[in-house]
Chain A
């Protein structure tokens, strides 16, 4: 059965291996350049404001190719589960129905359960391995950029993806394992239902894209209990006229889940109070005061309440999210066993 699985799977496997190798070569070629730029920058051992400047200088030195690879890599890791799912998972069973070869496969001296178990397990493990390998190579390559992002302050928009950002979180750590297993088993299960490869591909793509969107927007923020703090109003993004926090004092890489400006009585406020709205920026002509709105609000006793996830929650959150997707994958695989075990064709 292992032989048959490999024999039917080897073209896809070799294609994936070739793609992985091409990606690895690209990163291996551009990686040392990136590492030397980082070594030459003054980020290592920097203190205070010097770090932000050094990081920005480092970003400025990155070649166009580095930027392209940086974005391409994240995109590839995010897309890999879907691509693998629709090209490996969707045809896994659906192709047998389309070509009616299930008649052949399920009347050999191997039970349907064994047949499915070997096929699902081996191909799913391969899907997880390829995706995680992509992620690991990329993490190695992008390490200088990640470190620079860690110390940068107000760097270029392109390099502002903290560890908790939706694209970074799903492409680093162990989450690619969960996404790969989920997308693969989803595609297989959909293929079992549709019995047609193309519809299974399309449906899988739609569901997986929806899940990839829903996860960071609505689900991930609730997976682990947040920390709460009340910070000075300076935490708010007042420079842009907004009262939502953009930084947690003392936790520069934290993920801000929600924030709320409070008046001195502790009641929430949604707009800059009148007393401070007329103030203007230092140096602005005709300014009524030398105070910025933030300074004004701070002096009036306004504060910012923030709920956030500190970086210490990064790995618990990674495990939780991966665990959820692995559990879903197990459930979808179980569905395949049950559905085929009913023996209705």
Chain B
């Protein structure tokens, strides 16, 4: 499995504040990869580095085996849809298609026209007067019709209403199915990703907390509930991701490759959203503990 994005010790600094530090990750080819993490996790920075809009301050990043934005050929291989789908307000829909055709050697005119027709976009309409959903569709058309090998979408649906969101994702999936391209899309909402992604990377504070194919992740994570007990007494091979206790009951989210045999536990499947949230709060808890320890040392 080759990597479409391979980052090693990647870091990016804005003035003196690091937006991304020591990020090492590998995004496999042939998947629709969801990059999920809380706000400020460094998702946008990571994707901007992958598109070559930014240059790293530390570490390296390779996209499709090359340096991002190294030249016209590399640029042509990567399609990018930025956050809030920026388009030229003064240019019409048709102008945008012409822009794509003029600037991209692999431009697929038929694909672009077909999409615009199917999406009911008026070619003469100024992009500034499009609705948020239409604008996102237009920007996606630009990104897809250049026939990239890798499509990167940064929070593509964050600003869309639920209906537009569903339409956009559906449309995206159709485009992906037709073109067999690798896709990376970021979101802080798992629900959006669940519908379209078959691979998930959870990024918290620049670190990959968990990564893997969605069905595999769901297969190795279980929700255990049973009488209250100390998670430390669990057998080896069970990694506790999160634990919650009431007076009498303990609920655990665990990761294990084998089956859970202890009859004291009721084993149930875990929802992707709960899984992601567990990893996010685990990271947050670790950070809180670190801070507390730090404070105690200071005292």
Question: Which residues of A does B touch, CB under 8 Å?
Answer: 1, 3-4, 7-8, 11, 99-104, 106-112, 114, 342-345
State in angstroms the CA–CA spacing of A98 and B99 once bound together.
Answer: 20
Q: B residues within 8 A CB of A11?
A: 90
Contact among A3, A4, A107 with B51 in the assembled complex (CB-CB below 8 Å): A107
A109 pairs with B53, CB closer than 8 A = no
Knowing A1-B103, A4-B102, A109-B104, say if A104 contacts B88 (CB, 8 Å).
yes
Question: Which residues of B does A touch, CB under 8 Å?
Answer: 14, 48, 51-55, 69, 71-72, 75-76, 78-80, 82-84, 86-91, 95, 98-100, 102-106, 139, 142-143, 146
Knowing A104-B87, A110-B72, A111-B72, say if A343 contacts B105 (CB, 8 Å).
no
> How far apart are A103's CB and chain B's nearest CB, in angstroms?
3
Which chain A residue lies CB-closest to B13? A344
A343 pairs with B102, CB closer than 8 A = no
State in angstroms the CA–CA spacing of A100 and B154 once bound together.
Answer: 13
A100 pairs with B72, CB closer than 8 A = no
> How far apart are B182's CB and chain A's nearest CB, in angstroms?
16
A1 pairs with B52, CB closer than 8 A = no
B89 pairs with A104, CB closer than 8 A = no
> How far apart are B42's CB and chain A's nearest CB, in angstroms?
15
A109 pairs with B55, CB closer than 8 A = no
> How far apart are B181's CB and chain A's nearest CB, in angstroms?
15
State in angstroms the CA–CA spacing of A345 and B48 once bound together.
Answer: 9
Knowing A3-B102, A343-B53, say if A104 contacts B82 (CB, 8 Å).
yes
Q: B residues within 8 A CB of A107?
A: 51-53, 69, 75, 78-80, 82, 143
Q: B residues within 8 A CB of A4?
A: 99, 102-103
A108 pairs with B103, CB closer than 8 A = yes
CB<8 Å pairs between A and B, sample of 11: A7-B99, A103-B80, A103-B86, A104-B87, A106-B52, A107-B75, A107-B78, A110-B75, A111-B71, A344-B54, A345-B48
Q: A residues within 8 A CB of B89?
A: 99
> How far apart are B72's CB and chain A's nearest CB, in angstroms?
5
Q: B residues within 8 A CB of A101?
A: 86-88
Q: B residues within 8 A CB of A342?
A: 55
Q: A residues within 8 A CB of B79?
A: 107
Q: A residues within 8 A CB of B80?
A: 103, 107
Q: B residues within 8 A CB of A111?
A: 69, 71-72, 75
Contact among B69, B76, B106 with A112 in the assembled complex (CB-CB below 8 Å): B69
Knowing A342-B55, A345-B53, say if A109 contacts B72 (CB, 8 Å).
yes
Knowing A100-B86, A104-B87, A111-B69, say if A3 contacts B53 (CB, 8 Å).
no
Q: B residues within 8 A CB of A108?
A: 75, 99-100, 103-104, 146
> How far apart are B49's CB and chain A's nearest CB, in angstroms?
9
Q: A residues within 8 A CB of B72?
A: 109-111, 114
State in angstroms the CA–CA spacing of A3 and B75 once bound together.
Answer: 19
Which chain A residue lies CB-closest to B14? A344
Knowing A107-B51, A342-B55, A343-B55, say if A1 contacts B86 (CB, 8 Å).
no
